[in-house]
Chain A
Amino acid sequence: MIEVKMSQGAKPGHGGILPAGKNTPFIAKVRVSNYHGETVKSVAELIAAAGLFTSQDLRLWHINRRISMTKVARFDDIHPYPETGCLLRDNPPPSMKRFFEEATADPFAASCQLGMP
């Protein structure tokens, strides 16, 4: 049996050489565009599977993260939404509390330098 292979494709991990002639400016930009289009399409498939219509419909609670072998957390548990206007009321969420206490509006220096003689 004789197989005549008419082309040689470059695949990562599978060898193959991309001939210089194949790597044209046109192919290069089409590949950029293809990658974009296929990726966005793939996101859209996930969104449709989640019963949503657009990426703006996505909320933190749609995404899950496994935090141990036996526990799963929703993203809104891990990263709770801050209360509207809480930064203006000087009532930052717990995760930012320390930064608010340490920060000052006057000097523009790293905090380690503040207490130094």
Chain B
Amino acid sequence: MRRQFLLFALLTVGGTAAVGYYWPPALWAYMLIAPIVLLGLYDMLQTKQTIVRNFPILGRGRYIMEDLRPKIYQYFIESDVDGTPINRLARNLVYQRAKCDLDTIPFGTEFDVYKAGYEWLNHSMGAHAPHSIDRNLRVLVGGPDCLKPYDASILNISAMSFCALSRQAILSLNGGAKIGGFAHNTGEGSISPYHLEPGGDLIWQVGTGYFGCRKSDGSFCPETFAETAQIDAVK
């Protein structure tokens, strides 16, 4: 391809010069030709990328396509149910519920219900009307001896530390927990000021690094643990 490119460069540059000799306005074509030829020569002479060295100009197309590949795949090729770890259907569900839009669509499912691995809950002959049961599903944590039992929601926010999530994300999640009456797991990064500010319930996660209850030599610190565990938000 290097030879073809040189031939192309020679023909366009020479041809334009020849035409321009008889009809000078044709020289404007250099505006277009010159950058291509110069870029191609640069590609041929550089020693960093084999592809563009062997395929001047055209080799660059590969990088453009590599760049577009994930986008094309995501928008056009991937189905609604086969993305991992979160497929489009599940993600749309989150958006719809977050906006209180309609989250179910009548007329069937997009899942292959005959595929091995499909799971479901059977409908009962003696079903109850949805509004006839308590729809605020909760589980009481702590027995009769517990001084502060916690009436936990069945759905809470899983562990993601501050810094893995931004300040604003932590504030939003904890604020949501406050409004909805559910708990927010701090992640092993422990309790940041942003976990306490909105006032939502917390589940304090202590990881192998003992963050939040750690002595300077890295060992477990019972005093700070006892102190932090008594914060009212820590359920």
Q: Which chain A residues have a beta carbon within 8 Å of chain B's beta carbons? A: 11-13, 25, 28-56, 62-69
Contact = CB atoms under 8 A, between A and B. Distances in A.
Interface string B120-144: 1111111111101111110100000
B114 A35 contact: no
Contacts of A50: 121-124, 127
A103 to B, nearest CB: 20
Interface in B130-167: 130, 132-137, 139, 153-155, 157
B235 interface: no
Contacts of A48: 127-130, 132-133
A13 B126 contact: no
24 contacts: A12-B88, A12-B91, A13-B88, A28-B168, A28-B176, A31-B99, A31-B176, A32-B176, A33-B176, A36-B153, A38-B97, A38-B100, A40-B135, A40-B155, A45-B130, A48-B127, A48-B133, A50-B122, A50-B124, A51-B126, A51-B127, A52-B124, A53-B128, A55-B139
Contacts of A29: 171-176, 178-179, 198
Give the bracket for the number of chain B residues in contact with chain A: 35 or more
B211 interface: no
B219 interface: no
B180 A36 contact: yes
B121 A40 contact: no
Given A30-B179, A53-B128, A66-B117, A47 B103 contact: no
Interface string B67-104: 00000000100000000000010011011011110011
Contacts of A35: 94, 97-98, 176
Residue among B95, B119, B126, B128 with the highest chain A CB neighbour number at 10 A? B128
A49 B124 contact: yes
Nearest to A71: B116
B213 interface: no
Contacts of A47: 133, 137
A35 B118 CA distance: 24
A25 B168 contact: yes
Given A12-B88, A33-B177, A69-B116, 17 more contacts: A11-B95, A25-B171, A28-B168, A29-B174, A30-B176, A31-B99, A34-B100, A36-B180, A44-B134, A50-B127, A51-B124, A51-B128, A52-B128, A54-B134, A55-B154, A66-B118, A67-B116
